[in-house]
Amino acid sequence: MQLTQNLISDIIDITEKAGQLLLTFYSKSLHIQKKQDHTPVTDADLCVNQFLTAQIAALTPNIPILSEESCDIPLNVRQHWSHYWLIDPLDGTQQFIDHTGHFGILIALLEKTEQGFRPILGVIHAPLFGKFYYAMKGQGAFKKTAQGIERLKPKTLNPNAVIKITAGSISTWKKLLPHLSPDFRYEFIPYGSSGLKATLVADNVADCYVRIGQTGEWDTAAADIILQEKGGVILDFHKNTPLTYNQRNSLINPDFIMLNSQDEVWKQIFNISIKDS
């Protein structure tokens, strides 16, 4: 699979159209159901999922698609793929229902390597804010807004400054506190969907994002390549190893941490190792 500017441009265009479709549901009364994991799904999720699946299949007909809303493909089929698309048509469904604006569309392309499947292209789109974050392997990470395109730059962590940590709730923050070194100062930034919290890290608004709780592989794949190309990293919070994709029957992630740099000082803050990540 060749990564080209045409490919990323086409995926951004598809994502933008999906965002416009998603916003047509934003002011409507939604039909809300509960999935088996007790998380909500709406007609907006399903409609945008259908649109994205059809558009991406037309663009790359030989590459399979795995989506949060159509993820019942067994591992004994998935493990033989060389590439696949991984999408979340509405990241932050509850945020969408609650009209916080903190929801997005996530698309990633993954490739089979000797180390397992790794993201090689990713797009995160925040439709209500008109923002796109995207990256391709070896070509840098970027943010696109109405004002233009800018490259996402690495940030050297200043241990003397306040370390800004984003998470989803006060309960997560309380669970995290015992893992933080008392030698540093911290600020908690609550925010919406998993994908948009990742953009705070990519944008250097937050220094890291910690998730203690259930997410799917579709929640992290796009952010994974964006942060990698920016100079950051995503790690399993307990094992200090990179997240894995398409290696288990379950598509549920472990607890994780997203860092906007790979500075050695992170070892002191969280007592983690980022070597060889």
Residues tagged in the binding site annotation for Mg(2+): 68, 88, 90-91, 219
Binding-site residue ranges: 68, 88, 90-93, 219
Angle separating helix axes 221-230 and 194-202, nearest 10 degrees: 0
CA dihedral 255, 36, 195, 9 (to 10 degrees): 130
Give dist(CA 118, CA 83) in Å, integer.
9
272: tokens are: 């983690």
CA dihedral 13, 225, 150, 126 (to 10 degrees): 50
Q: Look at residues 252, 223, 220, 255 and name the one whose alpha carbon lies nearest to residue 237.
A: 255
The CA distances from residue 220 to 21, 99, 164, in Å, are: 23, 23, 20
Binding-site residue ranges for substrate: 68, 90-93, 219
